[in-house]
Structure 1
Amino acid sequence: MLDQIILFFIAIVANIFSAFAGGGAGLIQLPILIFLGLPFAIALATHKVATVALGLGATIRNIKEGHTSWRFNLIMLAAGIPGVVLGAYAIIGIDDRLAEILLGALTLSLSIYSIVKPNLGLVPEHRNQTGWGLLIGCIGLFAIGFTNGALSAGTGLFATMWLVKWFGLNYKHAVGHTLISVGLFWNFSGALTMGLLAQIQWDWLPALVLGSSIGGYIGAHYAIKMGSSWIKRVYEVVTLVVGIKLIIGA
């Protein structure tokens, strides 16, 4: 019972920040599962299932607001889900520590880039949504999906930045699309694939799923209400912390 209570509150906190910044729940949630005794593969598979609840809670809040484009979400699904499935298979043969260090370095670069670009993502400048620009954007989403399938920590942050930088969305709309496409559908695909490849700690999921749903809804609510400038600041802090955490390890 004590473990369930801990998992519930950890899931709420982790997913509030994740839903607000567009990623990063794995920074808190995945290490806690490992700390409580799960092997990495089981912890990752269990975390993947729980993050679907984050996407569900955030999706409900964003649909109520009605500011996301279903055409754009479908593009993200078509480009990203094949990468997620391939990444989940590929992680079996990759050294986890090396992958975490590389991912951490890339995540740190996201924080630095956003900091040195003070106007980035504050005003929408829709671009690259047709023709070659859209094709390159889809290749980028496929690569991010591959990373999402292989390593769960912080990859939603890459999707958020890609939507801001390449497609010209502001942070508010980018986070909304990330939470729906990545948080719900990409993570569901990854959870299904990981469930076939690794054991899931089913008795831990009720607390994780409930906490993730509540945290996802709360985080999405405040992201919508507070706007892009606040999301940008939180995004920079979360990417900085996630990057450092991945580099230094557990």
Structure 2
Amino acid sequence: MADIAPQILFFLFLAAFLAGFIDSIAGGGGMITIPAMLIAGIPPLESLGTNKLQSLFGSGSATLAYARAGHVRLSEQLPMAALSAFGAVFGALLATIVPGDVLKAVLPFLLVAIAVYFGLKPNIGDVDKHRRMGVFLFTVTIVPLIGFYDGVFGPGTGSFFMLAFVTLAGFGVLKATAHTKLLNFGSNVGAFVVFLFYGVVLWKVGLVMGAGQFLGAQVGSRVAMKVGAKVIKPLLIVTSVALAIRLMADPSHPIRVWLGW
């Protein structure tokens, strides 16, 4: 596509900064960056590919911030990140040949369910609880499954990882957020490799937005570590509901098409 004007690049930088801030705390940054790229005139497939490039900077930045503060040990979690990337590779490959109408139809209801769960569980805080699933089983089943989802579709991946860590691994909210960013980084890597192979990554746009993502994630992760569950829980609930509304607001959403809205 033709070279993008500086003011459009600045707009995309600001959108990425906001997305990085929100994503480092509660996930859902893709619901800001992808529409922003579409508004800028970038075709849908290139928007998806470029989104994975710029997302690497946000998830990587947040991961480093949480690791430096001791909330996640990177060496211990690398197998999980690798399996998240592995799942995302197959998801992205599937996305190139299979329409995602079923996922699009179900996702808003899943996101609302996540919001309701966190909203109605007042005892969810920063303290770890009882683990309901062993580390090995969690690593080889839940992690690649969510990674696969991130590759094939994407929105809400952070919310799903958060839910899994809190309910199955027994993590406190802050610890779950820190580990979510590392696994999200892994799934971003896996999907990015596939999109790169298909040649749908716009490097100039991706790097400019990546800078915004990096800075936004640094700010957001510091806010999360300073305030903890007091900010993470409300933002997670609001983000999940906002994602559901945003998806349903699309006239091309399968449910709206089926119902003739």
In the superposition, the TM-score normalised over structure 2's length comes to: 0.87
Matches within 5 A, 1:38-187: 38-70=42-74, 73-128=77-132, 130=134, 134-136=136-138, 138-182=140-184, 184-187=185-188
Partner SS, residue 93 of structure 1: coil
CA distance in 1, matches of 2:203, 2:224: 31
Cα offsets for 1:200-233 (capped at 9, x unmatched): 1222123201100001111111111111232111
Q: 1:5 aligns with which of 7, 10, 23?
A: 10
Contact 1:84 1:147 in 2 (8 A): yes
User: For the Cα contact (< 8 Å) 1:83–1:144, is it kept in 2?
Assistant: yes
Identity across the alignment (%): 26
Q: Confirm whether residue 25 of structure 1 aligns to residue 26 of structure 2.
A: no
The CA distance in 2 between the partners of 1:97 and 1:129, in whole Å, is 31
| Counterpart residue identity of residue 232, structure 1 | K
Structure 1 residue aligned with 2:242: 241
- Give, as a single letter, the amino acid of the residue that structure 2 aligns with 1:49: L
Distance 1:95 1:248 in 2: 19
Cα RMSD (Å): 1.8
| Residues 103 and 28 (structure 1), Cα distance of their counterparts in 2 relative to 1, 3 Å cut | same
Say whether residues 1:193 and 2:194 are aligned partners: yes
Deviations, residues 92-119 of structure 1 (Å, cap 9, x unaligned)? 2332444323222211211111112221
The amino acid of 2:85's aligned partner reads I
SS in structure 1 of the partner of residue 122 of structure 2 = coil
My pick for the range that moved more, 136-145 or 146-155, is: 136-145
Q: Which runs of 5+ in 1 are unaligned?
A: none
Distance in 2 separating the partners of 1:39 and 1:96:
17
What is the one-letter code of the residue matched to 1:170? Answer: G
Would the aligned equivalents of 1:55 and 1:216 in 2 still touch at CA under 8 Å?
A: yes
Task: Supply the distance in 2 between the matched residues of 1:198 and 1:126 (Cα, whole angstroms).
Answer: 45
CA spacing shift, 1:155–1:198, aligned 2, 3 Å: farther
Q: 1:105-136 deviations in whole A, cap 9, x for unaligned? A: 21121111111222134431151463xx6415
**For the residues of structure 2 that align with 1:101 and 1:26, how far apart are their CA atoms?**
18
Structure whose alpha-carbon radius of gyration is higher? 2
Distance in 1 of aligned mates of 2:8 and 2:75:
41
Structure 1 pair 216–18 and aligned structure 2 pair: CA distance change class (3 A): same
Between the aligned partners of 1:78 and 1:203, the Cα distance in structure 2 is 27
Q: Distance in 1 between matches of 2:80 and 2:125?
A: 19
**1:134-177: CA deviation from partner (whole Å, max 9, x where unpaired):** 41553122211110111122212111111111001011011111
Name the aligned partner's letter for residue 192 of structure 2.
A
Q: Distance in 2 between matches of 1:75 and 1:117?
A: 30
Q: Distance in 2 between matches of 1:34 and 1:179?
A: 25
TM-score for the superposition, normalised by structure 1: 0.91
Q: 1:75 to 1:166 in 2, by over 3 A?
A: farther
